[in-house]
Every structure is written in C-alpha cells, then in structure tokens.
Amino acid sequence: MKMKHLPLLVLAVFALSACGGKSKNVVLLLPDPDGHVGVVDVRNQKGEQALTQAGTATRVAPGTAPTAPELLSAQEQEQLFGIAERALPSRPVKFVLYFENDGTKLTPESQALLPQVLATAKERASKDIAVVGHASRQGDEHFNIDLSRRRAEFVSRMLEKAGMVRADMEITSHGSANPLVVSTRKNEPQNRRVEITVR
C-alpha cells in the first residue's frame, strides 16, 4: 500500500482491525496542527482512494482496492486510534494582538488578551512561542518593516516582564508583506498586529 501526501503536513494514522477473518489497514485523515486539511492518496495494486476531508477514513484489505471515504463513528475512532491521537502533541494556540495607528500601543481589547496568552503558555509549560510583528501598507516599506519589528519586540518585552522567558520566544517581523486582510485601505486596522503562537 502506498500513500502520497499533499501537503507533507497531512497526518494519517494507521491501525489494524480484524473483519471477516481478513486483516485491514485503516487510514484516517486528520488536520495538521494549524487546522489545515490536505490530501492523502492511498493506493495499492487494485486501486486508489483520495481522502480530502478531516475525519474520513479508507480501509484496505489484501487484494482489494481502498474503500470509499467514510466518517468513522466516535467509538470506532477511539477504539482504533485513541492511543495514537492522545500521543500527538497539543495543537498550537494562536493569539492576534492589534495596535493603534503608527505605533506600538495595543488596542484595549488586545491589551486584555495578554493574561490569556500568559495563562496558555504557563499551562503548556511552553518553550516554543512565536511572536511575529506585522504592519499595514501605510507608509513606505522601510518604515513598515521597522514598525513591525518594534511591535514584536514590544510584545515580547511585555511577556518577558510578566514572567515568560525570552529564550523561549522566537521574535520575527514581516513588515506589510503578509496581510491578514487584503484591502484597498492602506491603513487596514487588522493588518496592524502581532501574532503569537504558543506551541
């Protein structure tokens, strides 16, 4: 049995089950840690089957083509894959903090999110936290690159003062290169942000 993954982050879990005296492989498609669902192609000499929806599975017995995709019941999924799924790392938690125009002042709503960021990092005992600064398209790109860097540094300093370890944070910035919202407004508020991913 061959499998082709598109993209490589797609996760397939294998198990064996006895059915009618024949051993079967069961392939289950799960989303990657960021929630994205790719495609997994399961094939053997008798045929192939593509899985494209999270939670769908195909069964392959010797000498038969992979079955049509099916949603496994919660009970069967737990029976076949429960141990493997519990062994997977926790999915990352992402926070987006927004800024007032042209500076490093957080909006009040984003300021209020900081305790939740800290609680999540503490609960997970995380040693892998990404802090990524962004800017809108207002102003020239040299300014935007500098502003996005200052925003990322500002947030990382706030987190450090609250007890997080700087060595556990990866701090980067993108200027206006990766907008959250593609807009005709150069000063799109949702693009003035820092994204924090706690793994």
Cα 6 to its chain centre, rounded Å, is 16
Mean pLDDT on 117-145: 95
pLDDT band at 77 (very low <50, low <70, confident <90, very high): confident
Q: Is the pLDDT of residue 100 over 90?
A: yes
pLDDT tens, position by position, 141-199: 999 999 999 999 999 999 999 999 999 999 999 999 999 999 899 999 999 999 999 99
The runs of H, that is alpha helices, within the chain are 74-87, 108-111, 114-124, 141-161
Half-sphere exposure at residue 80, Cβ-oriented, CA atoms within 13 angstroms: 22
What is the number of other CB atoms lying within 10 angstroms of the CB of residue 27? 22
> Could you tell me the domains of the chain?
2-87 (no CATH), 93-198 (3.30.1330.60)
What's the token pair of residue 57?
Answer: 């599975």
* pTM reported for the whole predicted model: 0.66
pLDDT tens, position by position, 16-28: 444 444 567 888 8
